[in-house]
Structure 1
Amino acid sequence: MISFVLIVNKTCQTRFAKYYTSKLSEDLPSFEHALGKKCVGRPQHHCLFFHYEGFDIVYRPYASLYVIVGSPADQENEFGVLEWIQLFVESMDIYFDKVTELDFVYQLEKVHMIMEEILPKGILGESNQERILEPLSQLQETPFESRS
């Protein structure tokens, strides 16, 4: 089970955070910043996963963003998590037509919807991109009804 998903930029500002556990420290902003700093500061030739404060961390840089996933130690396959990160980023790219950091800032609710389709309650739910994006396409097709 996944404990949390963070997306940070190169200056370690959190652009997206989703927690599936309450076993984290009470000071989440400092936890996010410290973890982001550790991922951003790692050399490119280092492995994309490591242990941090009782969690297995798997991260992947994409352009100016880092997708960081944490799970309890020794409970998830790191390569499976890397595949999940790839699925998430590809789904975001399809929906936003080349996702950027601004999409995470201005369309955060849609990012949460995509995340909930792929990873409901911290467990891999859907792996088919068409089914992942279907609720969002239905949302766009629904006409806005004004309340008079």
Structure 2
Amino acid sequence: MTTDNNILFSFLQIHFVLLLSRQGKVRLTKWYSPYSQKERSKVIRELSGMILTRGPKLCNFVEWKGFKVVYKRYASLYFCMCINQQDNELEILEIIQYFVETLDRYFGSVCELDLIFHFHKAYYILDEILIAGELQESSKKAIHRIIDAQDLLVDEAKERANSISAIMARVAE
């Protein structure tokens, strides 16, 4: 959008992403703004207390320390993202939905245990969607192709490692 030769940019800045269980356990965190470890613990404690106690009929936006926290509950998980006051919370709800749909496709109906036992995959998927707190890729097809290619590379590396181990075992005999 241009106005009188001034270019206006609308950058959506996500400060952090939290995935919390209904019991308040942290299942995934990604920090895009600098927070010390002590500050991170305090943020998680404050927000989990605030979000987990809200009724299901209340809106999914919470004002917190000059920011907005947008969250959405899916089964036993709360997906939370912190943005600036002036940012569009509906856009964040769409990003959360996009992330959940991508996780669902990968894990086949994602659940809390998937995030516990395959957290590295959840982080990888999040990193393909968001970089530095900004939406990186909005095409589901592109994300799925990238994830499938990554899985193929991992499988090939495992096969090579297994064949090298087999060769080493034969040599050692």
CA distance in structure 2 between the partners assigned to 1:25 and 1:72 by the alignment: 21
1:132 aligns with 2:143: yes
1:56 aligns with 2:59: no
Larger deviation, residues 131-140 vs 114-123: 131-140
1:123 alignment partner in structure 2: 134
Q: Is the 8 A contact 1:49 1:57 kept in 2?
A: yes
Q: Mapping of 1:1-148 within 5 angstroms?
A: 1-23=13-35, 26-74=38-86, 76-142=87-153, 143=156, 144=158, 145-146=160-161, 147=164
Shift of 1:24: 6.5
**What count of residue pairs does the alignment treat as equivalent?**
147
Matching residue's letter, 1:124: L
Matching residue's letter, 1:27: E
CA distance in structure 2 between the partners assigned to 1:45 and 1:25 by the alignment: 33
CA distance in structure 1 between the partners assigned to 2:84 and 2:34 by the alignment: 12
Please, what is the CA RMSD of the aligned residues? 1.5
Gaps of 5+ in 2: 1-12, 169-173
CA distance in structure 2 between the partners assigned to 1:60 and 1:41 by the alignment: 13
Give the structure with the higher percent helix: 2
| Change in 2 beyond 3 A, CA 1:54/1:26 | farther
Q: Is the 8 A contact 1:13 1:33 kept in 2?
A: no
Q: Which 4+ runs in 1 deviate beyond 4 A?
A: none
Q: What fraction of aligned residue pairs are identical, expressed as a percent?
A: 31
Shift of 1:31: 1.8
User: What TM-score results when the alignment is normalised by the length of structure 1?
Assistant: 0.92
Matching residue's letter, 2:26: T
| Change in 2 beyond 3 A, CA 1:25/1:77 | farther
Gaps of 5+ in 1: none
C-alpha distance after superposition, 1:57-103 (max 9, x if no partner)? 100000000000001222x2000000111000000000000101011
